[in-house]
Structure 1
Amino acid sequence: MVAASDPILSLKDTSLRLAGNAGPVDILHGITLDVMSGETVGLVGPSGSGKSSLLMLMGGLETATGGQVRALGQDLTSMNEDQLARFRRDHMGVVFQSFHLIPTMTALENVATPLELAGKPDAFDRAAEELAAVGLAHRADHYPSQLSGGEQQRVALARAAAPRPAILLADEPTGNLDGTNGQAIIEMLFGLRDRHGATLIMVTHAPELARLCDRVVPLRDGRIDETAGLEAAE
C-alpha cells in the first residue's frame, strides 16, 4: 500500500537506451518525476522528445536501463515480464493512439477480456456497464471493423477503465481522431478519471487537452525541460 503522502508513481534518475541500426540510442536521460495519487499529468513536447517512451516506462511496457521506476510502492525495474503483466492487469489501464482492439472479438468481448484474465466473475456485466458509460451500449455486439475510429477509441477507453485501475495511461488518445470525436474522447477520458478516481497521465500534442491537466511536464531531447510550459504542447 502507498501512504497518501507518497507518490503513486516515482521515477528516480531514470534512463532508457535502446538498440538501433547504428548502435545504442539514448532515448531518456536522468528523468526524475513524482506523480501523486489522483493527479492528472500531461506529457508534452516535440516529436522525438521521449514522451511516449516515458509513458511506456511508467507502465512497465519498456524497462529502464538506468535508475528506478516505482508504482504503488512497487519497483517495476526489478520485475520480470510476467510480473509486470500481472501488475498492469491489476493496477493500470493503458489507452493507445491506435486502439489495439482484438479484431475477432466484439466490443463487449474486448472490454471484458482484461476482467476475465483477472478472474472477475462479473466480467461481462462490468464490461457492459463501461460500454454504456462511453455511449456504446447499442454497439456491444459489433466488431472493430464495424465501428468508426471514434467508436473504437471509446471501446479502448472502456477496456482500460473496466478493471478500475489506480493509474490510467493514455498515449495521444485523440491523435487519430477528428475534432468532434477528439473532444468527445477528452470528455469521456476525464469522466472515467472522475468516476473511478484514477491517476491520469497522458501524452498529448493538443494544447486544449494539456490545459485540462493539473500539471504539464514538458520534454525535449529525452529530458524534462524546466524552461518550457504549455506552449510545448503546440
Structure 2
Amino acid sequence: MSSPILSLENASLSLKSNAGRVDILRDITLDVGQGETLSLTGPSGSGKSSLLMLMGGLEKPTGGTVRAFGHDLGEMNEDALARLRRAHIGVVFQSFHLIPTLTALENVMTPLELGGHDEPERRAREELAAVGVEHRVDHYPSQLSGGEQQRVALARAAAPRPGLILADEPTGNLDGPTGETIIELLFGLRDRHGSTLVLVTHDTPLAARCDRMVGLADGRLAESPRR
C-alpha cells in the first residue's frame, strides 16, 4: 500500500442511551492508501455508515485515533474539521443532501466559494457537465429526478478536487439502471482527480470492483484479502 491518506488505530465509537452505553464501533484498525478504492460491507446496523462518519470527521471517536491528511481528527474542533473537509474530503450521501433553495449550479459552487477557489462558477459548470447535467444548472433540487440530484451531489463532492471521497450507499435511493450510471460516474470522478474512494454498499458486485473489501459485523472489522 502507498502511504496512508487515512489511518484508524483502535478507533471506537460509543453512545449513551437510557439503557446504558451502546458500542457502535469497536477497536477498528485500518489504513487506506492514496488512490485506493475501498468498500465497506456488512449487514444493516453493523457500523458501516458510522465508520464512514469517523473517517470524515463527522463523528469523533470515543476511543483510539483517526488520522486523515496528517491530522488527528479527534483533537480538532468543529471549525477546524469543517475546513479540513472543505479542502480535502468530499462526501456523497444516499439522500443527496442538496440545499433546496439553491439551484444545481449554486449547490456545486457553494463549497468552492467557501474554500476560496478561483472561478467557482466555471469549475462548477465543468463538474456538472462531467456528470451529464449541464442542461439542468438553473433547476432546483425539487425540479430534478433522484438520479439527477445524485449527479449534482457527485459534482459538488468532486468540485474542490478532494483527496478523499466518502460515499454512503450512493445508489440506495435509485433504481437499478440509474444506480449503475451513478457508480460509473463515481469511479470516473475518482479516476479523473486521482482521489481515494471509500464506498459503503450492500451490493457485492459493486464492492468487488474496489481494490479492497472490508466487512463489518457487530461493530468489528473483518478485512478481506487484497485482490
Amino acid at match of 2:22: V
Residue 60, structure 1, aligned to residue 57, structure 2: yes
- Residue 7 in structure 1 maps to residue 4 in structure 2: yes
TM-score (ref. length: structure 2)? 0.97
Taking only aligned residues, the RMSD between alpha carbons, in angstroms, comes to: 1.4
Match of 1:224 among 212, 221, 224: 221
Offset, 1:24: 1.8
The match for 1:186 is 183
Determine which of 104, 109, 112 is the counterpart of 2:106.
109
Partner residue of 2:48 out of 42, 46, 51: 51
**Aligned counterparts, 1:160-199, within 5 A:** 160-199=157-196
Shift in Å, 1:6: 2.2
Moved over 3 A (4+): none
Q: Are the structure 2 counterparts of residues 191 and 5 from structure 1 closer, same or farther at C-alpha, using a change threshold of 3 Å? A: closer
Measure how far apart 1:225 and its partner are: 2.2
SS in structure 2 of the partner of residue 93 of structure 1:
strand
Q: 2:133 maps to which residue?
A: 136
Question: Where do residues 25-44 of structure 1 align in structure 2 (5 Å cutoff)?
Answer: 25-44=22-41
Residues of 2 paired with 1:209 and 1:168: CA distance? 16
Equivalent position of 2:154 in the other structure: 157
User: Match for residue 232 of structure 1?
Assistant: none
* Residue 85 (structure 2) pairs with residue 81 (structure 1): no
CA distance in 2 between counterparts of 1:181 and 1:34 reads 32
Query: Is residue 67 of structure 2 the alignment partner of residue 70 of structure 1?
Result: yes
1:131-165 deviation per Cα after TM superposition (whole angstroms, max 9, x unaligned): 00000000000000000000000000000000000
Following superposition, the deviation at residue 207 of structure 1 comes to 1.3
Question: TM-score if structure 1 supplies the norm length?
Answer: 0.94
Give 2:126's aligned amino acid: E
Which residue of structure 1 aligns with residue 21 of structure 2?
24
* Range that drifts further, 4-13 or 66-75: 4-13
The SS at the match of 2:100 is: coil
Look up the SS of the partner of 2:118 in the other structure: coil
Residue 209 of structure 1: how far off its partner (Å): 1.1
Q: Which residue of 1 aligns with 2:116?
A: 119
1:1-50 deviation per Cα after TM superposition (whole angstroms, max 9, x unaligned): xxx94211000000001122322211000000000000000000000000
Residue 39 of structure 2 aligns to a residue whose secondary structure is: strand
3-state SS in 2 of match to 1:225? strand
Residues 177-228 of structure 1 show CA distances to partners (whole Å, capped at 9, x for unaligned) of 00011000000000000000000001000112101100000000000125x7
| Unaligned segments of structure 2, at least 5 residues | none
Q: Could you tell me how far apart the structure 2 residues matched to 1:5 and 1:195 are?
A: 19
Percent of pairs identical after alignment? 72
Question: Could you tell me how far apart the structure 2 residues matched to 1:212 and 1:6 are?
Answer: 22
Aligned residues: 226
